[in-house]
Structure 1
Amino acid sequence: MSLNIMKHPESSQRKSEPNHRESLNMYSLIISFEHSQQCKAFGFNSSNNIWVLGYGFQILVCQRQNETLRVESTLQGHSSSVTNILYSNKEDMFYSIGSWNDNVIVWTRDVDGKWNKQYLIYKEGQTREFEVVQLILNNDEDELIGVMDYNFIIVWKRTLENKWIKSQIIPISQNELSQIHQVSYDKHQKKIIIITQNGQVQILSKNQQDLWKKRQSINLKMIKGKKYYNIDDDSLVIQRQKGEYLIFNFNRENELYEEGIVKESQTIQEMLNQLFEINSSISQSQEICALKKNKYLSILRKDTKNLYQQIQTIQFDHNFFYQFSKNNQYLITWDYSKYINIWKYKSD
């Protein structure tokens, strides 16, 4: 299978409006793929020379050369559209998720350049149909967390033979309606912080058998339905109905121990407001972020005061999917049109 890679025709360009003060610091459309499949997932290696695209049921592995892409491999293994791709920061390895109760697959490339796959088991012993909706990889890349469209998570561990085995299935809540809202490691990878839609916070830490166990549970019913943001992995910031913020800090035993209302400078308040605005669509790097609203993608860039300033807005014709490369030099988008668009960041 091959893709037609070409310059995007002027008549089909997405509408892009730069901020007039920083018109040189923006993403410009450089390449388009003419396609016939859904493309909802993108992945990039750490050097940004390998791009992986979820192309319907298939996965395209592409080599980037200057401002062109060459399809190197077409991988098959999913029985539904690929919805999520997570690429390793250390080696030629990535993880893919399929929709509609599909598989989770680990792809590794051998010395001959062949991609091998391993299916991760997570459905054994389960009585309910569910799917993995997000993957989280630790810094050592030997532990993988699968977040379910239900109220539990699954943990896989990597063996010395580079095989992944199921380590734990961890229920988060007895309430079937309390779906998981957010999962994250702390910056030292010593705990997992889980927040559910009904305002419950679960803190997990490892026991002597190297298994994750619930260390603490906090019920935050008074802010049910409000936004949450784990601001720096060592404190939990929660926005209440009237706009003020609650801060929870962690003690040496990794337990939340202190609650207080933020009373900081206007600059800090503006930063918190921005973090809540971009909570669900922050990019892979903190330097540039994006906010998706309806058919618009607003791109923001940090200024000298560590605040995000909008530099560009891109308008699409339909609902769209997007992802930044790991160094934010490139942006790739797809919006149910005939083209997968590639944008490159150009600064003064």
Structure 2
Amino acid sequence: MIQINLIEKETLRCSENHDLPIIAIDIGKDVKMNDRLLCSECMLNIRPDMKIVGLNNIESKIENNIKENIQKKISLISQKKEQLTKLFNSIDQWKQTFNQTIDSIQRFFDYWMDNFISQEQVHNSYNFIQELDNYINQSQSHENDYELFVQSIIKINKTSINKIQLKLTQLNSHYRKYITDTKESLLEIISIQQPKITLKPINNQQKQSDFCWTIAFNQTGQIMVSGCNQYIKVWDFKDGQLKEVKKLEGHNQNIRCLLFSKLQNSFISGSNDNTIRCWKQLNGQEWNSQQSYQEHTNWIECLLLCKKENTLFSGSVDKSIKIWKVDFNNNNLKFSYSLMKHTLDVFGLSLNESETFLVSCGAEQQIIIWKKSKEKKWEFYQIVKQSINESGVTVCFIKENQFIWICGNKNGKDCLSYFELINGDFVEQKEKEQQLIISSDVYNLNLFPIVFNKEKEIILLRHKFHVYLLTKQTQGRYRISTKLKFQNNSIQGTMTNNAKYIILWEKTEQNFQIYQIEYQ
């Protein structure tokens, strides 16, 4: 049981020095520190706009916070002591294994030497009559005997060497494993990890035989939409349970991307029919889309909204990024202008926190940075140099001046790359590069945008056969916390805005798989 004591409780005084016990606290944000303490006399003059909390109430909450903080510190020290003890025991075990192996090798040397000594003793005496006869008759028995002796020595040497080499090989194998394990243990000790994340499967695998191209949630996570061939399906989602309630028609080809508003129940769809539509919830399960908007000349591959949701960015196979004005209230779009610099399909778009930089990637090897001008218009800024030289599938800002990028080649590097703004240009941070599971027989497909939750500091991404969840560690680095493997690389999915659920669709199983994210 953690015991804590308030040092100055008996000496606390209000700002008016009434010399009366403090009974309440003003917790208003703009109140100066000394003016927060209120005695019974001060309470006679409180104003209606003041936020007053009883001393015992606020003291209890403060103490709980302190106890929680102390407990976290104690738990961390306990964890590090346990890890250090584990490493010490590992080293002690290695020491025993090493000594046992060396002792065994020494015994082989002793056996080897004993064989030489025995051979030496055998040939120290001779038969005079026999040797005299050999000498007179010029017999070559000695030469033959010596050859046999040499062969015997060679056999002894080979046998002993083979045994020693086997032990040395075992020792080398143990040594390499020991070095690897020790390095991992040291990294585990010096790293201060965030709570672990696990994925709990929800037993509600909703069948979805139509090919699913894209999935999106509304802000509350209670409405899900999915692009199933040329239809948009609307689903109720509650406590991990999924129920289809509506099928929307409007596009005449496959729906490739869906983007839900975070401010109201409206969403935007992009299709293989080269058009974009706005959808607005009217009442209950009724949704309306007034018209389609066609400025692109090929498939729509990605959609992105700014924070105020008055600007939409769309990327397409036609190599362009279109910028639109959005009016969700009236359920319409208005085309503004195009960004032209890509030479092939545009697959991924992302804005930084302050929305001063836009990054895009696509089927060619270019990662392009666009910057907002003083006139509030987006302009080309930089082509980012990257050492991997592969096509880019997805891209996402995870800090004001840092984004991550995933390539998609069939026989590529299979990694997650980091880029950071340094001296005015975005530069690859090769030391932060994270290896993903290597799968050289398939492409990493697009249409599964990276999902970054700033509040929970976790990242959801898909690469080939695997879906990964990354969590933030110390020094701002992210590590793979957990991953899911599938039979097919056609995987679509997303995460609810509160980072509580992940929903996935995979081509082989042809159903929605729901996972609850549990923080340990």
1:34 aligns with 2:200: no
- SS in structure 2 at match of 1:80: coil
Q: Per residue, is there more strand in 1 or in 2?
A: 1
1:46–1:89 Cα contact (<8 Å) kept: yes
Matched AA of 2:209: S
Matched AA of 2:280: T
* d(CA) in 2 for partners of 1:34, 1:237: 33
* d(CA) in 1 for partners of 2:435, 2:311: 28
Query: Where in structure 2 are the equivalents of 1:78-93 lying within 5 Å?
Result: 78-93=251-266
- Once the two structures are superposed, what CA deviation does each residue of 1:198-248 show, in whole Å capped at 9, x if it has no partner? 44634332453x54344x345748874487875634257899xx9998754
Matched AA of 1:184: S
Structure 2 length-normalised TM? 0.49
Q: Which runs of 5+ in 1 are unaligned?
A: 1-21, 251-255, 264-268
Matched AA of 1:82: I
Q: Identify if the C-alpha distance between structure 1 residues 330 and 188 changes in structure 2 by more than 3 Å, giving closer, same or farther.
A: same
1:3 aligns with none
1:138 aligns with 2:306: yes
- SS in structure 1 at match of 2:433: helix
- SS in structure 1 at match of 2:353: coil
Q: Identify if the C-alpha distance between structure 1 residues 141 and 293 changes in structure 2 by more than 3 Å, giving closer, same or farther.
A: closer
* d(CA) in 2 for partners of 1:130, 1:162: 23
2:498 aligns with 327
Percent identity reads: 17
2:278 aligns with 106
Bigger radius of gyration, 1 or 2? 2
1:93–1:108 Cα contact (<8 Å) kept: yes
1:342 aligns with 514
Name which of 126, 140, 150 aligns with 2:318: 150
* d(CA) in 2 for partners of 1:23, 1:218: 37
Query: Where in structure 2 are the equivalents of 1:1-348 lying within 5 Å?
Result: 25-99=198-272, 101-111=273-283, 114-123=286-295, 129-159=297-327, 161-173=330-342, 177-180=343-346, 182-194=348-360, 197-199=364-366, 201-206=368-373, 208=375, 210-214=376-380, 216-218=381-383, 220=385, 224-225=389-390, 232-234=399-401, 247-249=420-422, 256=424, 269=431, 272-274=432-434, 282-285=450-453, 287-303=457-473, 306-316=477-487, 319-336=490-507, 337-348=509-520
Say how many residue pairs are matched.
303
Which region of structure 1 is more displaced relative to structure 2, 189-198 or 83-92? 189-198
* d(CA) in 2 for partners of 1:142, 1:77: 23
Structure 1 length-normalised TM? 0.71
- Once the two structures are superposed, what CA deviation does each residue of 1:104-129 show, in whole Å capped at 9, x if it has no partner? 11101125653111444233xx7xx4
Q: Which runs of 5+ in 2 are unaligned?
A: 1-194, 407-412, 438-443
Which region of structure 1 is more displaced relative to structure 2, 273-282 or 299-308? 273-282
* d(CA) in 1 for partners of 2:419, 2:489: 37
What is the RMSD computed on CA atoms of the aligned residues? Answer: 4.0
- Once the two structures are superposed, what CA deviation does each residue of 1:49-108 show, in whole Å capped at 9, x if it has no partner? 111122232222122233423333221112122221111111010111222x34211101
* d(CA) in 2 for partners of 1:107, 1:23: 38
* d(CA) in 2 for partners of 1:76, 1:27: 34
Q: Identify if the C-alpha distance between structure 1 residues 30 and 111 changes in structure 2 by more than 3 Å, giving closer, same or farther.
A: same
Q: Per residue, is there more helix in 1 or in 2?
A: 2
More contact order relative to length (CA 8 Å, sep ≥ 6): 1
Matched AA of 1:27: K
- SS in structure 2 at match of 1:139: coil
* d(CA) in 2 for partners of 1:154, 1:226: 21
